[in-house]
Structure 1
Amino acid sequence: MTQQSSETQAISVEKVLPYAPDRVWRTLTDSAMLARWLMPNDFVAEVGHRFTFKTRPMGGWDGVVHCEVLVCDPPRLLRYSWKGGSDDNPKYGSRLDSVVTWTLTARDGGTLLRMEHAGFRLPGNRFAFDAMKPGWERVLDSIAQVTAEAD
């Protein structure tokens, strides 16, 4: 019998954006804007709403991330579950059952945007953790660009 580790890891990134929290919130919660900086989706900013992100399949995983809005406190806090992967996907790691939290804090001349993606179980989710850590860092730059381009 193989013993699984119960260690979990989280990815945390933050960036100060030169926009008001309401404007950044819109970038995070408008489905069309969200698709521009992350993935196609059917997101609605309502607690309990179940939605999906869709990306390229990998191995046994169909490329669908299943999510549910857990907390929605505009324009300060957004939290949703993030579940994907496949139980029979050894090359790309095991099924991921995690939570993404966005925190917006007003700062002089802008907003401190912080993202935490928690619940990576190691070693099983090592592939996802290693792939997503630099990806989330780039996502904050994309959020800044999409926010800048919004009217």
Structure 2
Amino acid sequence: MTAAAEQTLSVVVERELPHPPEKIWRALTQPQLIEEWLMKNAFKPTVGHAFSLSADWGTVECKVRTVEPNRTLSYSWDAAPLESIVTWTLTPTASGTMLRMEQTGFRHDQPMFYGGAKMGWPKFIDRLEDVLARLD
């Protein structure tokens, strides 16, 4: 197998949000808030914690990999045969926070997963923004 064949694709969504990192962190790590913008879950911000995300179309198996409160969160995102990593990065700005979501690990022979993520993540983040607008 060539090196080019082993390379994977990533989906990146970046948005500057008018909220402090602490508020966004709550929406990324509290199960009842995650359910409002993403899917049903049993998330805990603990490295090694395994959890599932479930929707009407199926289930995603996940495991927490990185937790740096108010800064970085990553977890595996496995929906067989897709094995990927989702990483959230929060960077304070003058007017709020730059939110960066990156999902890595899409193989070139998985165009449906890649296309679905490219279409889906901006919609999930729109819903995340709606949740943040309602939070105190």
In which range does the TM-score fall when normalised by the shorter chain? over 0.9
Runs of 4+ in 1 over 2 A off after TM superposition: none
Please state whether the residue corresponding to 1:46 is helix, strand or coil: coil
Structure 1 residue 7: Cα displacement: 3.1
Unaligned 5+ segments in structure 2 are: none
Q: Normalising to structure 2: TM-score of the pair?
A: 0.93
Any residues of structure 2 matched to 1:1-151 within 5 Å, and which? Answer: 5-57=5-57, 63-85=58-80, 95-123=81-109, 125-151=110-136
Q: Choose 1 or 2 for highest CA Rg.
A: 1
Structure 1 residue 17: Cα displacement: 0.6
| 1:47-104 deviation per Cα after TM superposition (whole angstroms, max 9, x unaligned) | 11100001124xxxxx11110000000000000000013xxxxxxxxx0000000000
Structure 1 residue 121: Cα displacement: 0.8
| 1:14-46 deviation per Cα after TM superposition (whole angstroms, max 9, x unaligned) | 101100000010011110000110000000011
Percent identity, aligned pairs only? 40
Please state whether the residue corresponding to 1:71 is helix, strand or coil: strand
Aligned counterparts of 1:148 and 1:117: Cα–Cα separation in 2: 24
Instruction: Tell me the number of residue pairs that the alignment of Structure 1 and Structure 2 aligns.
Output: 132
After superposition, the CA RMSD in angstroms is 0.9
Q: Normalising to structure 1: TM-score of the pair?
A: 0.84
Aligned counterparts of 1:130 and 1:116: Cα–Cα separation in 2: 14
| 1:121-145 deviation per Cα after TM superposition (whole angstroms, max 9, x unaligned) | 111x210111110111122221111
Unaligned 5+ segments in structure 1 are: 58-62, 86-94
Report the residue type matching 1:67 in the other structure: C
